[in-house]
Amino acid sequence: MSQTTETPPARDLLSVALVTLGCARNEVDSEELAGRLEADGFLLVDDPADADTVVVNTCGFVEAAKKDSVDTLLEAADLKDGGRTQAVVAVGCLAERYGKDLAESLPEADAVLGFDDYPDIAARLRSIVAGEQHQAHTPQDRRRLLPISPTARDASTVSVPGHAVATSGDVGVGGPATGPRGLRRRLDGGPMAPLKLASGCDRRCTFCAIPAFRGSFVSRRPADVLLEAQWLASQGARELFLVSENSTSYGKDLGDLRLLETMLPELAAIDGVDRVRVSYLQPAETRPGLIEAIATTPGVVPYFDLSFQHASATVLRRMRRFGDPESFLGLLDQVRGYAPTAGVRSNVIVGFPGETEAELETLCDFLVAARMDVTGVFGYSDEDGTEAATYDGKLDEDEVRARTEHVQSLVEELNAQRAEERIGEVLEVLVESTDEGVAGRAAHQGPEVDGTTYLPGSTAAIGSIVRAVVVGTDGVDLIAEPIEGEA
Protein backbone atom coordinates (compact mmCIF):
# COMPACT_ATOMS: atom_id res chain seq x y z
CA MET A 1 0.00 0.00 0.00
CA SER A 2 1.54 3.32 -1.04
CA GLN A 3 1.99 6.16 1.40
CA THR A 4 1.64 9.84 0.67
CA THR A 5 3.45 12.61 2.46
CA GLU A 6 1.44 15.74 3.12
CA THR A 7 3.14 19.09 3.32
CA PRO A 8 2.92 20.30 6.92
CA PRO A 9 1.17 23.59 7.63
CA ALA A 10 3.40 26.67 7.39
CA ARG A 11 3.30 27.15 11.16
CA ASP A 12 4.90 23.73 11.61
CA LEU A 13 7.75 24.35 9.19
CA LEU A 14 11.13 25.49 10.39
CA SER A 15 11.51 29.10 9.31
CA VAL A 16 14.70 30.67 8.02
CA ALA A 17 15.78 34.21 7.16
CA LEU A 18 18.74 34.81 4.87
CA VAL A 19 20.73 37.99 5.36
CA THR A 20 23.07 38.74 2.45
CA LEU A 21 26.14 40.95 2.64
CA GLY A 22 28.67 41.85 -0.02
CA CYS A 23 28.43 41.64 -3.78
CA ALA A 24 25.84 40.55 -6.31
CA ARG A 25 27.57 37.16 -6.57
CA ASN A 26 26.64 36.59 -2.94
CA GLU A 27 23.04 37.48 -3.77
CA VAL A 28 22.95 34.64 -6.30
CA ASP A 29 24.46 32.25 -3.74
CA SER A 30 21.83 33.23 -1.16
CA GLU A 31 19.04 32.62 -3.66
CA GLU A 32 20.48 29.18 -4.40
CA LEU A 33 20.48 28.43 -0.65
CA ALA A 34 16.93 29.75 -0.43
CA GLY A 35 15.88 27.44 -3.27
CA ARG A 36 17.45 24.43 -1.61
CA LEU A 37 15.86 25.24 1.75
CA GLU A 38 12.37 25.90 0.41
CA ALA A 39 12.50 22.75 -1.73
CA ASP A 40 13.40 20.80 1.41
CA GLY A 41 10.52 22.09 3.51
CA PHE A 42 11.77 25.30 5.14
CA LEU A 43 9.60 28.40 5.37
CA LEU A 44 11.44 31.49 4.13
CA VAL A 45 10.75 34.71 6.02
CA ASP A 46 12.05 38.23 5.47
CA ASP A 47 12.50 39.39 9.07
CA PRO A 48 15.22 37.60 11.09
CA ALA A 49 13.15 38.19 14.24
CA ASP A 50 10.45 35.91 12.78
CA ALA A 51 12.87 33.09 11.96
CA ASP A 52 13.79 29.92 13.81
CA THR A 53 17.21 30.20 12.26
CA VAL A 54 19.08 33.12 10.70
CA VAL A 55 21.63 32.43 7.98
CA VAL A 56 24.09 35.27 7.36
CA ASN A 57 25.81 35.11 3.98
CA THR A 58 29.03 36.91 4.88
CA CYS A 59 31.58 38.87 2.87
CA GLY A 60 35.32 38.33 3.35
CA PHE A 61 36.68 40.81 0.82
CA VAL A 62 38.29 43.62 2.84
CA GLU A 63 38.56 44.51 6.52
CA ALA A 64 35.47 46.74 6.57
CA ALA A 65 33.37 43.99 4.97
CA LYS A 66 34.65 41.43 7.47
CA LYS A 67 33.71 43.71 10.37
CA ASP A 68 30.26 44.29 8.89
CA SER A 69 29.77 40.52 8.64
CA VAL A 70 30.79 39.93 12.24
CA ASP A 71 28.58 42.78 13.47
CA THR A 72 25.62 41.34 11.55
CA LEU A 73 26.18 37.91 13.08
CA LEU A 74 26.30 39.43 16.56
CA GLU A 75 23.07 41.36 15.92
CA ALA A 76 21.39 38.16 14.79
CA ALA A 77 22.69 36.32 17.87
CA ASP A 78 20.99 38.92 20.07
CA LEU A 79 17.64 37.73 18.68
CA LYS A 80 18.08 34.45 20.56
CA ASP A 81 17.60 36.24 23.89
CA GLY A 82 13.91 35.67 24.54
CA GLY A 83 12.95 35.68 20.87
CA ARG A 84 11.92 33.03 18.39
CA THR A 85 15.37 32.59 16.89
CA GLN A 86 17.05 29.37 17.95
CA ALA A 87 20.20 29.38 15.82
CA VAL A 88 22.45 31.78 13.92
CA VAL A 89 24.60 30.35 11.14
CA ALA A 90 27.44 31.93 9.17
CA VAL A 91 27.92 31.01 5.51
CA GLY A 92 29.59 32.78 2.60
CA CYS A 93 33.08 34.03 1.95
CA LEU A 94 34.11 34.90 5.51
CA ALA A 95 32.88 31.53 6.73
CA GLU A 96 34.66 29.65 3.93
CA ARG A 97 37.85 31.67 4.30
CA TYR A 98 38.29 31.26 8.06
CA GLY A 99 36.22 28.19 8.98
CA LYS A 100 37.08 26.84 12.42
CA ASP A 101 39.05 29.98 13.32
CA LEU A 102 35.92 32.08 12.84
CA ALA A 103 33.87 29.55 14.83
CA GLU A 104 36.33 29.70 17.72
CA SER A 105 36.55 33.49 17.75
CA LEU A 106 32.78 33.98 17.38
CA PRO A 107 30.99 31.59 19.74
CA GLU A 108 27.82 33.67 19.37
CA ALA A 109 27.32 31.97 16.00
CA ASP A 110 25.93 28.46 16.42
CA ALA A 111 27.71 27.17 13.33
CA VAL A 112 30.08 28.19 10.55
CA LEU A 113 29.34 26.41 7.27
CA GLY A 114 31.63 26.26 4.26
CA PHE A 115 30.79 25.92 0.58
CA ASP A 116 30.96 22.13 0.84
CA ASP A 117 27.97 22.26 3.20
CA TYR A 118 25.73 24.03 0.66
CA PRO A 119 24.36 20.91 -1.09
CA ASP A 120 23.12 19.62 2.29
CA ILE A 121 22.18 22.99 3.76
CA ALA A 122 18.70 21.90 4.89
CA ALA A 123 20.01 18.90 6.82
CA ARG A 124 22.75 21.03 8.35
CA LEU A 125 20.27 23.63 9.61
CA ARG A 126 17.91 21.02 11.03
CA SER A 127 20.70 19.42 13.01
CA ILE A 128 21.94 22.78 14.27
CA VAL A 129 18.45 23.86 15.38
CA ALA A 130 18.13 20.48 17.13
CA GLY A 131 21.19 21.37 19.17
CA GLU A 132 23.74 19.17 17.45
CA GLN A 133 27.30 20.47 17.35
CA HIS A 134 28.65 21.24 13.89
CA GLN A 135 32.39 20.88 13.34
CA ALA A 136 33.55 23.86 11.28
CA HIS A 137 35.87 23.09 8.39
CA THR A 138 39.60 23.73 8.25
CA PRO A 139 40.14 26.31 5.49
CA GLN A 140 41.94 25.14 2.37
CA ASP A 141 43.11 26.64 -0.90
CA ARG A 142 40.16 25.77 -3.12
CA ARG A 143 42.25 26.27 -6.26
CA ARG A 144 43.77 22.88 -5.51
CA LEU A 145 40.44 21.09 -5.84
CA LEU A 146 40.47 21.27 -9.65
CA PRO A 147 43.17 20.69 -12.30
CA ILE A 148 45.48 23.53 -13.31
CA SER A 149 44.43 23.20 -16.94
CA PRO A 150 41.07 25.00 -17.37
CA THR A 151 39.77 22.57 -19.99
CA ALA A 152 40.41 19.61 -17.67
CA ARG A 153 38.14 20.95 -14.93
CA ASP A 154 34.93 19.18 -13.96
CA ALA A 155 33.02 21.50 -11.66
CA SER A 156 30.53 18.75 -10.81
CA THR A 157 33.18 17.21 -8.56
CA VAL A 158 33.21 20.19 -6.18
CA SER A 159 30.66 22.49 -4.57
CA VAL A 160 30.57 25.76 -6.50
CA PRO A 161 28.02 28.20 -5.03
CA GLY A 162 25.56 29.57 -7.54
CA HIS A 163 26.13 26.78 -10.08
CA ALA A 164 23.67 24.17 -8.81
CA VAL A 165 21.31 22.53 -11.27
CA ALA A 166 18.71 20.09 -9.99
CA THR A 167 18.38 16.83 -11.91
CA SER A 168 14.80 16.08 -10.88
CA GLY A 169 11.72 17.96 -12.02
CA ASP A 170 10.37 17.59 -8.49
CA VAL A 171 13.27 19.45 -6.92
CA GLY A 172 13.97 23.13 -6.91
CA VAL A 173 11.83 26.21 -7.10
CA GLY A 174 13.90 28.24 -9.49
CA GLY A 175 14.00 26.25 -12.69
CA PRO A 176 12.18 26.52 -15.98
CA ALA A 177 9.18 24.38 -16.87
CA THR A 178 11.32 22.04 -18.94
CA GLY A 179 14.96 21.02 -18.82
CA PRO A 180 17.30 21.25 -15.82
CA ARG A 181 15.79 23.11 -12.90
CA GLY A 182 18.09 25.59 -11.21
CA LEU A 183 17.99 25.55 -7.45
CA ARG A 184 17.15 29.20 -6.96
CA ARG A 185 14.43 31.20 -5.26
CA ARG A 186 14.32 34.97 -5.70
CA LEU A 187 14.62 36.89 -2.45
CA ASP A 188 14.32 40.33 -4.05
CA GLY A 189 11.43 40.85 -6.42
CA GLY A 190 12.98 43.90 -8.07
CA PRO A 191 13.28 44.35 -11.84
CA MET A 192 17.04 43.64 -11.82
CA ALA A 193 18.40 40.17 -11.20
CA PRO A 194 22.04 39.05 -10.95
CA LEU A 195 22.88 36.01 -13.06
CA LYS A 196 26.09 34.12 -12.42
CA LEU A 197 28.31 33.43 -15.44
CA ALA A 198 31.20 31.81 -13.61
CA SER A 199 32.94 31.47 -10.26
CA GLY A 200 36.52 31.63 -9.10
CA CYS A 201 39.59 33.23 -10.62
CA ASP A 202 42.87 32.03 -12.11
CA ARG A 203 44.70 35.33 -11.76
CA ARG A 204 47.36 35.74 -9.07
CA CYS A 205 47.03 39.38 -8.10
CA THR A 206 49.31 39.86 -5.12
CA PHE A 207 46.78 41.85 -3.09
CA CYS A 208 43.77 39.55 -3.52
CA ALA A 209 42.78 36.52 -1.44
CA ILE A 210 39.56 35.73 -3.33
CA PRO A 211 40.92 32.94 -5.59
CA ALA A 212 42.16 30.98 -2.57
CA PHE A 213 38.67 30.64 -1.05
CA ARG A 214 36.53 30.92 -4.20
CA GLY A 215 38.67 28.48 -6.16
CA SER A 216 39.81 28.17 -9.77
CA PHE A 217 37.83 29.77 -12.56
CA VAL A 218 34.83 27.68 -13.62
CA SER A 219 32.29 28.75 -16.27
CA ARG A 220 28.66 27.74 -16.14
CA ARG A 221 27.41 25.97 -19.24
CA PRO A 222 25.67 28.38 -21.63
CA ALA A 223 22.53 26.21 -21.59
CA ASP A 224 22.29 26.57 -17.81
CA VAL A 225 22.83 30.33 -17.98
CA LEU A 226 20.16 30.73 -20.65
CA LEU A 227 17.62 28.55 -18.86
CA GLU A 228 18.08 30.47 -15.63
CA ALA A 229 17.82 33.74 -17.53
CA GLN A 230 14.48 32.62 -18.98
CA TRP A 231 13.22 31.78 -15.51
CA LEU A 232 14.39 35.12 -14.12
CA ALA A 233 12.50 36.89 -16.90
CA SER A 234 9.39 34.89 -15.99
CA GLN A 235 9.81 36.18 -12.44
CA GLY A 236 9.75 39.81 -13.57
CA ALA A 237 13.44 40.56 -14.13
CA ARG A 238 13.79 43.15 -16.90
CA GLU A 239 17.56 43.58 -16.46
CA LEU A 240 19.98 40.67 -16.20
CA PHE A 241 23.23 41.56 -14.43
CA LEU A 242 25.90 39.04 -15.47
CA VAL A 243 28.30 38.50 -12.57
CA SER A 244 31.50 36.56 -11.90
CA GLU A 245 34.97 37.17 -10.53
CA ASN A 246 36.27 37.65 -14.10
CA SER A 247 33.74 37.78 -16.93
CA THR A 248 36.42 38.20 -19.62
CA SER A 249 37.57 34.61 -18.94
CA TYR A 250 34.12 33.12 -19.54
CA GLY A 251 34.29 30.05 -21.75
CA LYS A 252 38.03 29.40 -21.57
CA ASP A 253 37.46 26.18 -19.61
CA LEU A 254 34.72 25.18 -22.05
CA GLY A 255 37.05 25.42 -25.04
CA ASP A 256 35.75 28.68 -26.51
CA LEU A 257 36.82 32.05 -25.15
CA ARG A 258 34.26 33.78 -27.39
CA LEU A 259 31.23 32.16 -25.78
CA LEU A 260 30.18 35.37 -24.06
CA GLU A 261 30.09 37.25 -27.35
CA THR A 262 27.86 34.57 -28.87
CA MET A 263 25.63 34.24 -25.80
CA LEU A 264 24.89 37.95 -25.29
CA PRO A 265 22.45 38.22 -28.24
CA GLU A 266 20.64 35.09 -27.02
CA LEU A 267 20.25 36.53 -23.53
CA ALA A 268 19.03 39.87 -24.89
CA ALA A 269 16.47 38.11 -27.09
CA ILE A 270 14.71 36.40 -24.16
CA ASP A 271 11.09 37.49 -23.90
CA GLY A 272 10.69 39.98 -21.06
CA VAL A 273 14.39 40.95 -20.87
CA ASP A 274 14.95 44.58 -21.81
CA ARG A 275 18.62 44.85 -21.05
CA VAL A 276 21.66 42.76 -20.25
CA ARG A 277 24.63 44.12 -18.31
CA VAL A 278 28.09 42.56 -18.01
CA SER A 279 30.18 43.13 -14.88
CA TYR A 280 33.84 42.84 -13.96
CA LEU A 281 36.08 42.88 -16.98
CA GLN A 282 39.85 42.44 -16.70
CA PRO A 283 41.49 45.13 -18.87
CA ALA A 284 44.34 42.84 -19.95
CA GLU A 285 41.81 40.24 -21.18
CA THR A 286 39.27 42.60 -22.74
CA ARG A 287 39.48 41.70 -26.42
CA PRO A 288 38.18 43.85 -29.30
CA GLY A 289 35.41 41.38 -30.17
CA LEU A 290 34.01 41.52 -26.65
CA ILE A 291 34.13 45.31 -26.63
CA GLU A 292 32.18 45.38 -29.89
CA ALA A 293 29.63 42.85 -28.63
CA ILE A 294 28.93 44.75 -25.42
CA ALA A 295 28.86 48.14 -27.13
CA THR A 296 26.72 47.26 -30.16
CA THR A 297 24.48 44.25 -29.43
CA PRO A 298 20.83 45.40 -29.21
CA GLY A 299 19.55 44.88 -25.69
CA VAL A 300 23.04 44.75 -24.17
CA VAL A 301 23.88 48.02 -22.43
CA PRO A 302 27.20 49.68 -23.33
CA TYR A 303 28.57 49.41 -19.82
CA PHE A 304 32.19 48.61 -19.02
CA ASP A 305 33.18 47.62 -15.50
CA LEU A 306 36.96 47.63 -15.98
CA SER A 307 39.19 46.56 -13.10
CA PHE A 308 42.17 48.89 -13.59
CA GLN A 309 43.35 48.88 -9.90
CA HIS A 310 46.15 51.37 -10.73
CA ALA A 311 47.71 53.04 -13.75
CA SER A 312 51.43 53.02 -13.00
CA ALA A 313 53.08 50.17 -14.92
CA THR A 314 55.55 49.57 -12.08
CA VAL A 315 52.83 49.36 -9.41
CA LEU A 316 50.78 47.08 -11.65
CA ARG A 317 53.75 44.74 -12.08
CA ARG A 318 54.12 44.50 -8.31
CA MET A 319 50.42 43.66 -8.22
CA ARG A 320 51.06 40.94 -10.88
CA ARG A 321 48.84 42.80 -13.28
CA PHE A 322 49.47 44.37 -16.67
CA GLY A 323 48.90 47.75 -18.22
CA ASP A 324 49.86 51.40 -18.23
CA PRO A 325 48.09 54.71 -18.90
CA GLU A 326 48.56 54.46 -22.66
CA SER A 327 47.07 50.97 -23.01
CA PHE A 328 44.21 51.75 -20.64
CA LEU A 329 43.33 54.98 -22.44
CA GLY A 330 43.55 53.10 -25.73
CA LEU A 331 41.05 50.59 -24.38
CA LEU A 332 38.69 53.41 -23.42
CA ASP A 333 39.10 54.93 -26.88
CA GLN A 334 37.99 51.61 -28.39
CA VAL A 335 34.94 51.55 -26.12
CA ARG A 336 33.93 55.12 -26.94
CA GLY A 337 34.61 54.59 -30.63
CA TYR A 338 31.69 52.16 -30.61
CA ALA A 339 29.56 53.89 -27.95
CA PRO A 340 30.53 57.50 -27.12
CA THR A 341 28.17 57.65 -24.11
CA ALA A 342 29.11 54.22 -22.72
CA GLY A 343 29.18 53.86 -18.96
CA VAL A 344 32.64 53.18 -17.53
CA ARG A 345 33.49 52.37 -13.94
CA SER A 346 36.55 51.03 -12.17
CA ASN A 347 38.25 50.55 -8.81
CA VAL A 348 41.74 51.61 -7.80
CA ILE A 349 44.00 50.74 -4.88
CA VAL A 350 46.01 53.56 -3.32
CA GLY A 351 49.07 53.16 -1.09
CA PHE A 352 50.22 49.78 -2.41
CA PRO A 353 53.59 48.74 -0.91
CA GLY A 354 56.38 50.77 -2.49
CA GLU A 355 54.04 53.25 -4.19
CA THR A 356 56.01 56.44 -4.81
CA GLU A 357 54.60 59.94 -5.13
CA ALA A 358 55.43 59.82 -8.84
CA GLU A 359 53.46 56.57 -9.24
CA LEU A 360 50.54 58.12 -7.38
CA GLU A 361 50.71 61.12 -9.71
CA THR A 362 50.61 58.75 -12.70
CA LEU A 363 47.40 57.29 -11.32
CA CYS A 364 45.85 60.71 -10.78
CA ASP A 365 46.80 61.89 -14.27
CA PHE A 366 45.21 58.77 -15.73
CA LEU A 367 42.00 59.31 -13.79
CA VAL A 368 41.76 62.86 -15.13
CA ALA A 369 42.24 61.64 -18.69
CA ALA A 370 39.94 58.61 -18.39
CA ARG A 371 36.68 60.52 -17.71
CA MET A 372 35.01 57.56 -15.98
CA ASP A 373 31.50 57.70 -14.57
CA VAL A 374 32.37 56.14 -11.21
CA THR A 375 35.66 55.16 -9.58
CA GLY A 376 35.86 53.26 -6.31
CA VAL A 377 38.93 54.11 -4.23
CA PHE A 378 40.40 51.65 -1.72
CA GLY A 379 43.32 52.24 0.59
CA TYR A 380 45.71 49.30 0.62
CA SER A 381 45.73 46.98 3.61
CA ASP A 382 47.32 43.56 4.05
CA GLU A 383 45.09 40.59 3.36
CA ASP A 384 45.80 37.27 5.08
CA GLY A 385 47.69 34.85 2.88
CA THR A 386 48.46 37.24 0.03
CA GLU A 387 51.87 37.82 -1.49
CA ALA A 388 51.67 41.59 -1.03
CA ALA A 389 51.36 41.11 2.73
CA THR A 390 55.00 39.92 2.69
CA TYR A 391 56.29 42.90 0.68
CA ASP A 392 58.72 45.48 1.99
CA GLY A 393 58.10 49.17 1.45
CA LYS A 394 54.81 49.35 3.33
CA LEU A 395 53.45 52.85 3.76
CA ASP A 396 52.25 53.72 7.23
CA GLU A 397 48.52 53.88 7.84
CA ASP A 398 48.40 57.68 8.05
CA GLU A 399 50.11 58.02 4.66
CA VAL A 400 47.79 55.47 3.05
CA ARG A 401 44.81 57.29 4.52
CA ALA A 402 46.05 60.68 3.28
CA ARG A 403 46.66 59.36 -0.23
CA THR A 404 43.28 57.64 -0.29
CA GLU A 405 41.50 60.81 0.77
CA HIS A 406 43.38 62.78 -1.90
CA VAL A 407 42.40 60.39 -4.69
CA GLN A 408 38.85 60.06 -3.36
CA SER A 409 38.46 63.83 -3.45
CA LEU A 410 39.79 63.91 -7.00
CA VAL A 411 37.46 61.19 -8.32
CA GLU A 412 34.43 62.75 -6.64
CA GLU A 413 35.13 65.92 -8.60
CA LEU A 414 35.87 64.03 -11.83
CA ASN A 415 32.82 61.78 -11.55
CA ALA A 416 30.60 64.79 -10.84
CA GLN A 417 32.00 66.50 -13.94
CA ARG A 418 31.31 63.39 -16.02
CA ALA A 419 27.72 63.41 -14.76
CA GLU A 420 27.36 67.07 -15.78
CA GLU A 421 28.53 66.14 -19.29
CA ARG A 422 25.37 64.02 -19.55
CA ILE A 423 23.02 67.00 -19.19
CA GLY A 424 20.86 67.00 -22.31
CA GLU A 425 21.41 63.29 -22.92
CA VAL A 426 18.34 61.10 -23.47
CA LEU A 427 18.29 58.05 -21.23
CA GLU A 428 16.16 54.97 -20.72
CA VAL A 429 15.68 54.61 -16.97
CA LEU A 430 14.66 51.35 -15.33
CA VAL A 431 12.49 52.35 -12.37
CA GLU A 432 13.52 50.55 -9.18
CA SER A 433 12.05 52.66 -6.40
CA THR A 434 9.02 54.85 -5.73
CA ASP A 435 9.53 55.32 -1.98
CA GLU A 436 10.65 58.94 -2.15
CA GLY A 437 9.77 59.82 -5.69
CA VAL A 438 10.41 57.76 -8.80
CA ALA A 439 14.04 56.72 -9.22
CA GLY A 440 16.03 54.14 -11.14
CA ARG A 441 19.09 53.54 -13.26
CA ALA A 442 20.08 54.46 -16.78
CA ALA A 443 22.07 52.16 -19.05
CA HIS A 444 25.41 53.57 -17.85
CA GLN A 445 24.59 52.99 -14.17
CA GLY A 446 25.24 49.59 -12.62
CA PRO A 447 23.26 48.34 -9.61
CA GLU A 448 23.88 49.98 -6.22
CA VAL A 449 27.33 51.45 -6.86
CA ASP A 450 26.99 53.76 -9.88
CA GLY A 451 24.49 56.36 -8.79
CA THR A 452 20.78 56.91 -9.38
CA THR A 453 18.63 58.74 -11.89
CA TYR A 454 15.72 60.62 -10.30
CA LEU A 455 12.52 61.33 -12.23
CA PRO A 456 10.68 64.10 -10.34
CA GLY A 457 7.02 64.30 -11.22
CA SER A 458 6.91 60.86 -12.81
CA THR A 459 4.24 58.38 -11.76
CA ALA A 460 5.89 55.36 -13.41
CA ALA A 461 5.72 52.04 -11.57
CA ILE A 462 8.62 49.86 -10.50
CA GLY A 463 9.79 47.85 -13.48
CA SER A 464 8.84 50.52 -15.99
CA ILE A 465 11.42 51.84 -18.43
CA VAL A 466 11.09 55.59 -18.88
CA ARG A 467 12.68 57.71 -21.58
CA ALA A 468 13.94 60.91 -20.03
CA VAL A 469 16.32 63.78 -20.70
CA VAL A 470 18.96 64.74 -18.12
CA VAL A 471 18.34 68.24 -16.74
CA GLY A 472 20.55 68.29 -13.64
CA THR A 473 23.00 66.42 -11.43
CA ASP A 474 23.87 65.85 -7.79
CA GLY A 475 27.33 64.31 -7.67
CA VAL A 476 27.09 61.13 -9.76
CA ASP A 477 23.30 61.11 -9.49
CA LEU A 478 21.21 62.47 -12.35
CA ILE A 479 17.92 64.34 -12.46
CA ALA A 480 15.89 63.71 -15.60
CA GLU A 481 12.53 64.73 -17.04
CA PRO A 482 10.39 62.06 -18.74
CA ILE A 483 9.76 62.76 -22.40
CA GLU A 484 7.72 59.79 -23.58
CA GLY A 485 6.71 57.85 -20.49
CA GLU A 486 7.25 54.12 -20.34
CA ALA A 487 9.37 52.60 -23.11
Residue 447 φ/ψ, nearest 5 degrees = -60, 130
∠ CA 391-393-394, rounded to 5°: 80
How far is 447 from 440, CA to CA, in rounded Å? 9
Run of H or E residues at 473: strand 465-474
Between 92-105 and 24-39, two packed helices, what is the crossing angle to 10 degrees? Answer: 80
How far is 434 from 432, CA to CA, in rounded Å? 7
Compute the radius of gyration of the chain from its Cα atoms.
Answer: 23
Run of H or E residues at 440: strand 439-441
How far is 182 from 193, CA to CA, in rounded Å? 15
Q: Kindly report the number of other CB atoms within 10 A of residue 149's CB atom.
A: 9
Torsion angle of alpha carbons 144, 284, 449, 198, nearest 10°?
-40
Run of H or E residues at 485: strand 477-486
Residue 471's identity, in one-letter code, is V
Please, are residues 258 and 288 in contact by the beta-carbon 8 Å criterion? no
Run of H or E residues at 105: helix 92-105
Please, are residues 420 and 451 in contact by the beta-carbon 8 Å criterion? no
* Length, in residues, of the chain: 487
Residues tagged in the binding site annotation for [4Fe-4S] cluster = 23, 59, 93, 201, 205, 208
Q: How far is CA 384 from the centre of its chain?
A: 22
Torsion angle of alpha carbons 452, 458, 460, 462, nearest 10°?
30
Residues tagged in the binding site annotation = 23, 59, 93, 201, 205, 208
Q: Is the dihedral of CA 59, 63, 65, 71 positive or negative?
A: positive
Distances (CA, A) of 20 to 56, 61, 393: 6, 14, 37
